[in-house]
Amino acid sequence: MQITGNFIAGKITHSATGETIPVYDPATGKVVRELTQSSSEEVSQAIGAAHQAFHGWSHTSPLRRARVLFNFKALLEKHRDELAELIVSEHGKVWSDAQGELTRGMEVVEFACGIPHLIKGEYSANVGTGVDSYSLMQPVGVVAGITPFNFPAMVPMWMFPIALACGNTFVLKPPALDPSAAVRMAELLTEAGLPDGVFNVVHCSNQDAEQLYQDPRIAAVSFVGSSGVAEHIYKTASAHGKRVQAFGAAKNHAIVMPDADLDATINAIMGGAFGSAGERCMALPVVVAVGDETADTLIERLTPLIKALRVGPGNKRGDAENEMGPLVSAAHQQKVLGYIDKGEQEGAALVIDGRNYKVAGHDDGYYVGGTLFDKVTPEMTIWREEIFGPVLSIMRAADYQSALQLVNSHEFGNGSAIFTSDGHTARSFVQDVEAGMVGVNVPVPVPMAFHSFGGWKRSVFGALNVHGPDGVRFYTRMKTATTRWPAGEHIVSEFSMPTLG
Residues designated as active site: 281
Angle, alpha carbons 139-243-169 (nearest 5°): 40
Amino acid letter at 31? V
Distances (CA, A) of 390 to 80, 269, 307, 358, 479: 27, 12, 12, 15, 48
Rounded Cα gap, residues 154 and 220, in angstroms: 20
Residue among 83, 453, 33, 472 nearest 280 (CA): 453
CA distance 375 to 394: 6
By the 8 A CB rule, do 153 and 102 touch? yes
Please state, in angstroms and as integers, the Cα–Cα distance from residue 382 to each residue in 274, 433, 477, following that order: 16, 21, 42
Q: Which alpha helices (DSSP H) does 59-179 contain, by range?
A: 62-78, 80-91, 95-112, 115-118, 154-165
- Three-state DSSP at 478 gives strand
Other CB atoms within 10 A of residue 41 CB: 12
Characterize 317-348 residue by residue with b for buried, 16 or more Cβ atoms within 10 angstroms of its Cβ, and e for exposed: eeeebbbbbbbbbeebbeebbebbeebeeeeb
Query: What's the one-letter identity of residue 486?
Result: P
Closest CA to 322 of 153, 93, 142: 93
